[in-house]
């Protein structure tokens, strides 16, 4: 089955897309997250029992693997996409000001031997819940 990666798949829009992909039963889905459980994605991140437990709970709740992604490192993103055989990347990350959070993910998808499609986040707007 082809694999789809949803960047930001633990958020509201991302989660809805993950659930729709899962309901279709035609694709495997993985979630790319800036932070998984208590593990940050930076070089000083440390694996802890709390991280493993939080990660397992989040994966069980959503029903998809959640993978920490360093969106500042194109080569690491390429390796992540290729090691998970990701054919399609869908980004639901919101622009936090400054450089687009998608820019290096787009570069990685282009360099990845197995990734054929990249859907950039064009819908990320600021909003407040009421």
- For the chain, the domains span 3-119
CATH classification of 3-119 is 3.90.1150.10, yes or no? no
Separation of alpha carbons 89 and 105, rounded Å? 9
Residue 47's pLDDT is 42
Separation of alpha carbons 51 and 124, rounded Å? 28
Residue 2's pLDDT is 95
Q: Which residues of the chain have pLDDT under 50?
A: 38-52
Q: Convert the pLDDT of each residue in 2-37 to its tens digit.
A: 999 999 998 888 999 999 999 999 999 999 988 655
Residue 28's pLDDT is 95
Pair of tokens at residue 112: 């990845």
Number of other CB atoms surrounding residue 118 within 10 Å: 21
Residue 98's pLDDT is 58
């Amino acid at each position: 089955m082809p694999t789809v990666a949803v960047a930001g798949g633990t958020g509201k829009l991302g989660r809805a897309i993950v659930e729709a992909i899962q309901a279709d039963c035609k694709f495997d889905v993985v979630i790319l997250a800036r932070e998984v459980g208590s593990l940050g994605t930076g070089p000083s991140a440390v694996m802890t029992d709390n991280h493993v437990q939080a990660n397992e709970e989040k994966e069980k709740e959503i029903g998809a693997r959640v993978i920490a992604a360093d969106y500042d490192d194109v080569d690491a993103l390429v390796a992540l996409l290729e090691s998970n055989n990701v054919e399609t990347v869908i980004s639901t990350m919101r622009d936090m000001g400054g450089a687009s959070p998608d820019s290096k993910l787009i570069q990685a998808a282009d360099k990845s031997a197995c990734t054929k499609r990249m859907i950039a986040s064009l819908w990320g707007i600021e909003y407040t819940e009421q």
